[in-house]
Chain A
Amino acid sequence: MFKILKYSFYDLIRSRWSFIYLMFYFLLGVVLLFLNNNLSNAIVTLLNVVTVLVPLIGTIFGVMYYYDSKEFTELLLAQPIKRSNIFLGQYFGVAISLSISLIVGLGLPFIYYGLFISDKIFEFLTLIIVGTFLTFIFTAISFFIAISFENKIKGFGIAILVWLLLAVIYDGIFLISLIYFEQYPLDVFSLGAVMLNPIDLARTLMLLKLDISALLGYTGAVFKKFFGTNFGVILSYLILIFWTIIPILGIVWKSNKKDF
C-alpha cells in the first residue's frame, strides 16, 4: 500500500494541477491578507472559501485521478497485490498531496504576515485542520463514487451532485425545515442536522473558534451547552473522524466486491 501511495503521491506532487492548486491558495492568502490588513478578517473570508472550494476541489480531483489512472490500476490489479491496498494507496496519495497544497499554500502567506506572533494562531490551525479533514472526506467520497460507476460522465456528474447537495442544497432544506417547524423546540434537531453534513460540521467548528459561540449560544440551553463548552468541539471532531472513516471503509468494501 505504501509503495502505491508513494507512486501516486510523487506522480501528483509533480503534476501541474497540484501546483496550480497550491498557487491558488497562496495567492488567495496573499491577496486577503494584504487587502484586508487584518488577520482575523482574512480568516473569516477563508472560512467561506475552505468550506466551499476545498470539498469541490477534493471531489473533482478524486474523480479525475481515479478515471485517469484506470489503466495503471488495471495493470496493478493483475499483480499479486491486495485490492484494497491499491485503491487505498491511490486515495491517500491524492488526499495527502491535496492537503499539502492547502497547508503550504495558505500557511506561507500567513506565516510571512506574522501568524506566530499573533493570537489568531489557533483559529488558523482550526481552519487548516478542518480543511484537511474536508479534503480527506470529499476525496474519499469521490473515489467511492468513481469506483461505483464505470461511466466517466455519470461518475463525474454524481460526484458534483453530491458536492452540490452537501454544500448548498442541504442547507436550503435545513433552513426551510427550521422555518417551517419554528413552533417546535429545534435545538436538538438543528445540532443533529449539522452533524449529518461534514461541510456544516466544519463550518460550525470554525465558528466555535471564531468566538461566534456567544452569538449561537443565546438561543437555548442545548445550544449553550454545546457551543459554550469544550463538549461541542470534542464531539464535532469525533464526528469529523467518523465522517472520514465511513467513505474510506466504503472504498475498501466496494473495491473488494467490484468485478473488473
Chain B
Amino acid sequence: MKSKKWLFFVILIITTPLLATTIEVCSDCQIKTIKAALSVAKPNDIIKVKKGVYKETNLIIDKSLTIIGENQPTIDGQLKGDIFKIKSDKVVIKGFNIINVGKDFANSNTAIRVQKSNNFEISYNRFENILFAVYIEKSSYGKIINNKIFGNAKTEINSGNGIHLWDSKHILITNNYIEKMRDGIYLEFASNCEVVNNFSTKNVRYGLHFMFSNDNSYLKNKFLSNGAGVAVMFSKRIKMMNNQFLKNWGTASYGLLLKEINDAEIKHNIFEENTIAINVEGSNRIDYENNNFTRNGWALKVRGACYNNVFKKNNFLYNSFDVSWNSKMNDNLFEHNYWSEYSGYDLDKNGVGDVPYRPVKLFSYIVNKTPETIILLRSLFINLVDFSEKVTPVFTPDFLIDNQPQMKPIL
C-alpha cells in the first residue's frame, strides 16, 4: 500500500512539467483578450477562448501554441488588416468564427496566415467577409480541416482566394467548404499536397487552381457552379480522382482546364453539365479512365500539342459534342469507351461494337473553324451532313477512332 502511494507521487512529479498550462480567455476572466493571452503564454500552452466577440487584429503567434475556441467565439477584425499570423511550428487554431478581415490588396490581408512554419493545424473555423481566408507561405506538413469559408467576391480583381498555398509541401486540405471567393483553393509552387473531400462552389474564377505545383493529388472533391471548376496549369504528376465537376456553365466555362500538364491521372471523375467538360492544351501522357461525361456542351476539347494520352473506359453520355480536335497529328489512344451516340452493332455479342466509332463529328470540325456556325446546332441539315460524313468520312480526322466502342455504359 505504501509503495503504491510513493509510485503515484513519482509519476506526478515526472509528468507535471510536461503538462501544458491552460489559459482561459473570456470577457470576465483574468485575461480578456487573445493578444494578452499570447504574450503570457509559454510554448506548448493551450489557450481556450470562451464564447464572445473579440475585436482583435494582428495576432502574431511566435511559439507553438494550441488556440481553441469554445462554442465558436467570434474574432472581429474590424476591416483593419490580418488577424492571425503564425510564425512558429506546431500551432493549432481551432473552432473560431473569424470575420471582417481588411481589404488591402497590396498586403493581401488574410484571416490566418502561416509563414515558414511546419506542423500547423487549422480546423473547424468559419470565415466570413474576408479577403484571403488561409494563406500558407513556405510552410510544410500542415493540415487544413473542416473549415467553412464564405466570401462575397464579385470580380476577379478585388477578391482573394479561400485557401492559398505558396511554396509549401505536404499540406492536407480536407473537408472544407468554400464559396464565393476568387479561387476556392489555390496552389502555387506547392508539392505533395492532398486536397480531399472539399466542396468548392460559386467561386468567381476557379474552384481549385494549380500553378507550377508537382506531385499533388485531389480526390473526392465537388466543384459546383464555379467560373470554371478546376484549372491545372504547368504541373506534373497530378492525380485527379473521384471528383465531381458539376454545372460549371457559362460562356467561357469549363469543368477542368489542363494546360501544359504531363503524366497526370484522371480517373473515376464525374463531369456533368459543363460548357466544356475538359479543355486540354499541350498536355502529354495523361490517362483518362472511367470518367463519366454527361450532358456537357463539349466533353473533350483538345486544342493541340497533346500526345500519348489514353482515353479508356469512359462514358460519353448525351453531350452536344463528344470530342473536338484541333490538331492534325494524333498518337492518342481511344479504346473501350461508351458513346451514347454510337449506333453500331455487335454480332458476336462480346459487348464491343463491331464498327469503330469516330467521336469527332463533321459539325464539330466546322464549329472549330467558324464558331458562329454553332447557331445551326441540332438543325436537320446539320444532322444530314453529320450522317453522310459518318457513312463516308472525308473531313473528320481518320486517325481519331475508337476501335472498341462499348455497347453498354461502363459502371
Contact = CB atoms under 8 A, between A and B. Distances in A.
B251, B369, B384, B385: residue with the most chain A Cβ atoms closer than 10 Å: B251
Given A200-B376, A214-B249, 14 more contacts: A41-B318, A44-B318, A168-B380, A168-B381, A169-B381, A178-B370, A178-B376, A179-B373, A186-B370, A200-B379, A203-B378, A218-B275, A219-B371, A219-B374
A214 B250 contact: yes
B372 interface: yes
Interface stretch (A18-26, A92-100, A204-212, A252-260): A204-212
A190 B376 CA distance: 9
Give me the 9 closest cross-chain CB pairs, A-B, nearest first.
A171-B381, A217-B251, A215-B297, A186-B372, A218-B251, A182-B370, A219-B371, A214-B275, A171-B379
A220 B254 CA distance: 17
B377 A215 contact: yes
A160 to B, nearest CB: 15
A114 interface: no
A204 B378 CA distance: 9
B273, B297, B385: residue with the most chain A Cβ atoms closer than 10 Å: B297
Given A214-B249, A224-B251, A228-B251, A175 B374 contact: no
B378 A47 contact: yes
Contact of A179 (B252, B366, B378, B382): B366
B253 A214 contact: yes
A178 B372 CA distance: 7
Interface string A158-179: 0000000001110110110011
B381 A175 contact: yes
Contacts of B273: 211
A220 B382 CA distance: 22
Given A41-B318, A218-B251, A48 B297 contact: no
Interface of B: 249-253, 273, 275, 295, 297, 318, 320, 366, 369-385
Contact of A215 (B373, B374, B379, B382): B374
A103 to B, nearest CB: 22
A216 interface: yes
Nearest to B247: A211
Interface in A139-175: 167-169, 171-172, 174-175
A215 B295 CA distance: 12
A48 B381 contact: no
Contacts, number: 90
Interface string A178-209: 11001000110011001000011001100100
19 contacts: A48-B380, A51-B379, A52-B380, A168-B381, A169-B381, A171-B376, A171-B382, A175-B382, A179-B373, A182-B369, A182-B372, A199-B379, A203-B379, A214-B253, A215-B297, A215-B374, A217-B251, A218-B252, A220-B372
Contacts of A186: 370, 372
Nearest to B317: A41
B376 A175 contact: yes
B372 A172 contact: no
Nearest to B381: A171
A8 B372 CA distance: 45
A179 B275 CA distance: 23
Interface in A60-94: none
Contacts of A52: 380
B374 A51 contact: no
A199 B275 CA distance: 25
A186 to B, nearest CB: 4
Nearest to B383: A48
A94 to B, nearest CB: 24
B399 to A, nearest CB: 24
A203 B385 CA distance: 17
A175 B366 contact: yes
B377 A212 contact: yes
A33 to B, nearest CB: 15
A186 B372 CA distance: 7
Contacts of A220: 371-372
A51 B383 CA distance: 13
Contacts of B379: 51, 171, 199-200, 203
Nearest to B275: A214
A204 B297 CA distance: 16
A215 B275 contact: yes
Nearest to A179: B370
B382 A190 contact: no
A181 to B, nearest CB: 9
Contacts of B384: 168
B251, B273, B379: residue with the most chain A Cβ atoms closer than 10 Å: B379
Contact of A51 (B252, B253, B320, B380): B380
B375 to A, nearest CB: 5
Nearest to A211: B249
Contacts of A169: 381
Nearest to A204: B375
Interface in A201-256: 203-204, 207, 211-212, 214-220, 223-224, 228
Contacts of A44: 318, 378
Contacts of B378: 44, 47-48, 203, 207
B377 to A, nearest CB: 6
